[in-house]
Amino acid sequence: MTTQTQLIATQAKQKKKRSSPLGKVAIRLPALVIAILLWQLAATAFSTPFFPPFFSIVARFQEDWLSGPATQLFLSDAFYTNALPTIGRLAIGWILGALLGVTIGSLIAYLPRLGAALEPLVRFGMSLPTPALLPLAIAFFGLDAGGKIFFIALGAIWPVIVGTAAGLRGADPVAVSSARSLNLSPATLFLRVRIPLASPQIMAGLRVSVNAAVLLIIVAELYATTTGIGFMIVSAQRNFDVLGTWSGVFLLALLGIVCNGLFVLVERRVMRWQIIPREAQK
């Protein structure tokens, strides 16, 4: 669990140092702009076949995904037919994995014998390169949406189980017993006291699982598909359509960035209460 505790500690530190959003952008943007310009310049100057200029890719990206009418929010038909299902599967798979993970993690925390019995499996799941489960998921559910959702849930579940179990087990006994003295019903005690107390570690687990889910949807997309972003990318790649390949890669990269960003936003909102008590302890 040390990695996750470290993770939380660094996050707390980052929060403490948070400065004005504008100042943050002002100091961070230049490196990004320079990197993009360097790419553009280098690609134009050396003109290698596989690394086209940045803005050529952006133009193709726009044509592929953002060329729709205003009524479709400017998103192209290709986006609706190929990208949206992918994103939907990612969301459903991850939510399924997260809910199951919290449930199983809670059961493990309350039933030590069950926890001990499941420990080998959980350890196995934590150290398994989860994409290896894909052939298994396909054997089970086939190549369609069900298989992909199952695959993502199966890969995203492990860190959530571990985070939830560790968070619930490690809850401050004083806080729990003082809450108990309030004569709360077991359900209220669990949902209003225990889960919030465990939430830093649950969040850490969820964060790892988001990254896992994004990795897995991309793996699922690139593995022998007949529709979706992956299919577009793979067919562009087979036709040596470098710009088309890059355009798809950009969409996948953007998927990673957006999912991560959304999670950070949610985490900040949910975990706001964490900051003050932790600062006061110091």
Partner 1 sequence: MELSFRERMLWGVVGILALLATMQIVVATGLVSSRAMPTATDMLLAFANLVVSQTFLFALAATLLASMLAFLLSSLVGIPLGVVLGTSPTAEKVASGLIETLRPIPAIALMPIAILSLGIGLEMKVALAALAALWPVMISTIAGVRDTDSMMVRAGRSFTWGSLTIMRKIQLPAALPFIISGARQSVSLALVIVVTLELLGAREGIGDVIRQYSAAGRVDYVFAGVLATGLLGLGLHAVLGWVERRLMHWAPQYRKAAK
Query: Quick check: 233 binds partner 1 (CB under 8 A)?
Result: yes
Q: Are 155 and 218 in contact (CB under 8 A)?
A: no
Assigned token pair, 2 = 């040390």
Contact present, 164 and 101 (Cβ < 8 Å): yes
136 binds partner 1 (CB under 8 A): yes
What CA–CA distance (Å, rounded) separates 11 from 22? 20
Nearer to partner 1, 16 or 192 (CB): 16
Q: Are 112 and 98 in contact (CB under 8 A)?
A: no
Tokens for 156, please give them: 């995203």
183: left (phi over 0), alpha (psi -120 to 50) or beta: left
Residue with Cβ nearer partner 1 (51 or 55)? 51
Helix axis angle for 195-222 and 145-169, nearest 10°, is 150
4 binds partner 1 (CB under 8 A): no
Q: What is the C-alpha separation between 146 and 142, in angstroms, rounded? A: 8
- Which of residues 73 and 84 has its CB atom nearest to partner 1 in the complex? 84
> Of the ranges 99-107, 181-189, 259-267, 271-279, which one interacts with partner 1 (CB under 8 A)?
259-267
* Interaction of residue 119 with partner 1, rule CB under 8 A: yes
- Both structure tokens of 188: 């209220």
Candidate list 171, 214, 267, 274; residue touching partner 1; CB under 8 A: 214
Task: Give the binding range for partner 1 (CB under 8 A) out of 23-31, 64-72, 91-99, 170-178.
Answer: 23-31
Copy the structure tokens of residue 41: 């310049």
Choice between 72 and 226, CB closer to partner 1: 226
Which CB atom, from 71 or from 129, has the smaller least distance to partner 1?
A: 129
The residues that touch partner 1, with contacts defined as CB under 8 A, are 2-3, 6, 10, 27-32, 35, 50-51, 112-113, 116-121, 123-125, 127-136, 138-140, 211, 214-215, 218-219, 222-223, 233-234, 236-237, 240, 242, 245-246, 248-249, 252-253, 255-257, 259-261
